[in-house]
Amino acid sequence: MSPERFERIQLMLSQRQPDLTVCMEGVHKPHNLSAIIRTCDAVGVSEAHVVWADAQSKLSGGTAMGSQNWVQVKPHANIADAVATLKSQGMQVLATNLSETAVDFRSIDYTKPTAVLMGQEKDGISQEALALADQDIIVPMVGMVQSLNVSVASALIMYEAQRQREIAGMYQGPCRLSVEEQNRILFEGGHPIYTKACRRKGLAYPQINDEGQIVADEQWWFKVKHEPSAWPEK
């Protein structure tokens, strides 16, 4: 890893917001999924949550522009499990939904730990998810249509969160990610070839030093460079 790339990744890590996230319920169009992940990366969200619409749902690499390499996508079996996970982390859960109790998305305090639920393109957020959310929010509209594209709405909300957090100084270090998470991102982002080898061979990631270089013993280096059939027996 070059010093320049190491410095850039470190700067990115220092601005990550582990207590800000998006949860996508049933969003199934690849370009929407990927556009939301791209926005997450842009505003410093390190982890996004998803309840897949079906087994065929996936991210679109072209739309994501590689941002899926920097934002972990956490799948959940159902929306109840997803919201339970978010609330266990102390997050306020906001649902984008036009209702009598909905408030302007800009009136929310996003400096609090926050998760934003984004619903399926056609039908929106499910009734189950709405019942689990703490607050409904809306993007005010004065035209003839009543809703925005899900990825556009997500971007508006997340950038309002980014604006508030920037004013509050929440993008100024130190890094709030765990040491283990920082090491994972530095390794995967700085050493992609060795990352693929570790994944294929089931090897644990090594440590990354203060210069961005791999710190590992001779046994690890041997295993990462040779096929398992050549590994010495335990």
Question: Which residues are annotated as part of the binding site?
Answer: 96, 139, 148
Residues annotated in a binding site for S-adenosyl-L-methionine: 96, 139, 148
CA distance 183 to 197: 17
Side-chain half-sphere exposure of 42, counting CA atoms within 13 A: 17
Length of the chain, in residues = 234
- Asked if 139 contacts 156 with a C-beta cutoff of 8 angstroms, the reply is yes
Side-chain half-sphere exposure of 29, counting CA atoms within 13 A: 13
| Identity of the residue numbered 225 | K
- In the chain the first and final C-alpha atoms are separated, in Å, by 32
